[in-house]
């Protein structure tokens, strides 16, 4: 590197470097890391594209570039990730929120009756629970996670965003008081088959294995949610699960076997199987 580095030169150089290193979205990643190093937004980079960086700014950026090239997720480096229009704090305590998981929130938002109660299992950063609570202020939303560290992060996000959530730490439904029931259960459980973990991208392998490893067939956690959900759902209650694309036939079949009356698989924008939506039978819950 030469002594004089402007934002535009740094972005161009880093984009090429990241491309050679196999980093996804190399230009966007370069912009995000540079904006973070400078304490500004991405628009400011181009408004001041010819402004040279100081020595300390350049040192901060170089350190971030090195860590990203070594496989550390961008969101862990910047400490935040946008999800459903909200900025969530993100770190190594939990899985990085993915854009495709926004489909889970959208499905939950439309299925939850007015004044209803929703449960988000495996909440991680709390992104699903908080986004749902902010979109449906009439509802009561509860979040659980097995990891106390992840649950602490979810609490931080809820407080920061002003989302009203109830939290319980523990293993799926076992974390909850026995009498607590819901109109809706949502979850983005760990669903990657154990044998595929080593094949994941380097940055994904830096995320908590507890949030990724779904057991030998990828259904170890999801199947427990399916079996346990009917006992926690009210009549006509719904279950929405994010799933691995290989579970398109198995997961709906598990839902039917568990007693759900209606089961539907939904695809994401890439036409990959993404969600299973299942509903119990029984009379509709009265409004209010």
35-57 pLDDT per residue, tens = 999 998 888 888 888 888 899 99
pLDDT for 48:
86
Which residues are registered as beta bridge partners of 267? 273
- With a cut of 50, say whether residue 287 has pLDDT above it: no
- With a cut of 50, say whether residue 73 has pLDDT above it: yes
- 199 Cβ contact partners less than 8 Å away, ≥ 6 residues apart: none
Q: For CA atoms 174, 175, 176, 178, give the dihedral sign.
A: positive
- Neighbouring CB atoms inside 10 A of 168's CB total 17
pLDDT in tens, 164-201: 999 999 999 999 999 999 999 999 999 999 999 999 99
Whether this model's pTM surpasses 0.95: no
Q: For CA atoms 149, 150, 153, 159, give the dihedral sign.
A: negative
pLDDT in tens, 125-153: 999 999 999 999 999 999 999 999 999 99
Spatial separation of the C-alpha atoms in residues 76 and 70, rounded to whole Å: 13
């Amino acid at each position: 590197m030469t002594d004089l580095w402007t934002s535009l030169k740094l972005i161009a150089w880093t984009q090429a470097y990241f491309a050679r290193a196999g980093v996804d979205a190399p230009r966007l990643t370069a912009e995000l890391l540079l904006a973070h190093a400078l304490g500004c937004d991405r628009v400011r980079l181009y408004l001041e594209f010819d402004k040279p960086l100081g020595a300390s700014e350049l040192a901060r950026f170089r350190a971030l570039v090195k860590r990203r090239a070594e496989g550390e997720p961008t969101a862990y480096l910047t400490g935040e990730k946008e999800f459903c229009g909200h900025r969530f704090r993100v770190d190594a305590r939990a899985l990085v929120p993915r854009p495709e998981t926004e489909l889970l929130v959208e499905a939950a938002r439309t299925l939850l009756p007015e004044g209803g109660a929703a449960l988000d299992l495996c909440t991680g950063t709390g992104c699903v629970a908080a986004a749902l609570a902010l979109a449906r202020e009439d509802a009561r939303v509860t979040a659980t996670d097995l990891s106390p560290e992840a649950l602490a992060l979810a609490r931080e996000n809820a407080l920061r965003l002003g989302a009203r959530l109830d939290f319980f730490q523990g293993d799926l439904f076992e974390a909850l008081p026995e009498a607590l029931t819901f109109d809706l259960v949502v979850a983005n459980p760990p669903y990657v088959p154990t044998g595929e973990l080593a094949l994941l991208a380097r940055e994904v392998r830096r995320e908590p294995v507890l949030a990724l490893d779904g057991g030998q067939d990828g259904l170890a956690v999801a199947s427990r949610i399916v079996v346990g959900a009917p006992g926690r759902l009210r009549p006509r209650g719904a279950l929405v699960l994010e799933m691995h694309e290989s579970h398109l036939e198995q997961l709906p079949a598990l839902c039917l076997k568990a007693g759900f009356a209606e089961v539907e698989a939904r695809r994401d924008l890439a036409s990959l199987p993404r969600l299973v939506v299942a509903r119990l039978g029984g009379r509709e819950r009265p409004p209010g």
